[in-house]
Amino acid sequence: MSATNCARYSVDSRQVARGQIFPITEVFGYATEAGTDQSGTARTTRSCPFTGVSCEKYRQYGFGYCSVTYAAADDARTQYTYAVCDHRLDGPPVAAAVADHFGAQTDIRLVPEIVLANPRASFDYVAFRKTDTGLDDIIAIETQSIDLRGGGVGPAWRALADGKSQDWRRYFTEEAHAKNRRDTVDYGVNLANIYKRLGTQVAEKGTYLKSLAIPFYVVMQDRPFAYLLKRIPFESVTPGSPWDITFMTFDYTGEMNADGTLVFAPVRAVRTTLAAYVQAMSKNRRLSDSPRQDFINLVKRKARL
């Protein structure tokens, strides 16, 4: 997964005020500024290089961006690229999770979108070794990106679609006037939701899979994972010890491949037990033994009391 013929990508690690840099970092799997044959083909066909099919986000919502740049408070207001489409974790990151478990074994099958009726749950992928008598050595894989919050980057996408990305800020102004609201670029990445949604999902799905003796892999970007680890500071196991959950993380290096894709490199594999994860989650310092008091405190903060 190493990059070849890489060029330095100019967005990452720059301290630029919000609203002064084009928000969209990747379009149909390629850097927004890429001018390669591959990126042009992807935009024409609206295809996703990570899944090998047409862009699901474009089919559903009319948008084909994979990641945005954002200066979060947790990042000391420095611009970083955040994956905002789960399919950005498809391809090599999922393959790395499969290789981590199965190594060089052959006859490994990867099946997407396993949906359960009871309990109501789903898994992005299940991998297994196919034998003459059936299935053996099964793992479940969940891919996780980050959600956008606030006003979104729709105006930037429309500017890009119109071939006027250099004039993207005007599109936000026009939308603000049309909707009679402040002229701001107020999108953000929902780091808090990483804890609220993913944190709970890992516990619930991890509990179910442990009852089936099936290892659980969570594939995600490293920067959001670091936030999750601060909120749920679980203890990792020592190498070679039994584990239930493995977080495999990847992140943007700030480099661009010769074909116009951004380098999304492996960072770390962190393994833990379900018991350690649930224990750390229950000790979260933002929770108390009184749900009523938690609710009252939330209202007080909102009312600025």
Span 81-106, pLDDT tens digits: 999 998 999 999 999 999 999 998 88
Integer Cα distance of 88 and 281 in angstroms:
27
- Which residues, listed in sequence order, are joined to residue 218 by a DSSP beta bridge? 142, 247
pTM: 0.85
Confidence of residue 187 (pLDDT cuts 50, 70, 90): confident
Write down the mean pLDDT value for the chain. 87
* pLDDT the model gives residue 14: 52
Does position 111 have pLDDT exceeding 90, yes or no? yes
Integer Cα distance of 181 and 298 in angstroms:
26
Does position 297 have pLDDT exceeding 80, yes or no? no
Position of tokens 């009726």?
Answer: 117
* pLDDT the model gives residue 166: 92
Sign of CA dihedral 161, 162, 167, 169: negative
* pLDDT the model gives residue 39: 94
Position of tokens 């003796």?
Answer: 213
Task: Report, as an integer, the average pLDDT of 60-80.
Answer: 85
Can you give the residue ranges of every domain in the chain? 7-150+187-282, 152-186
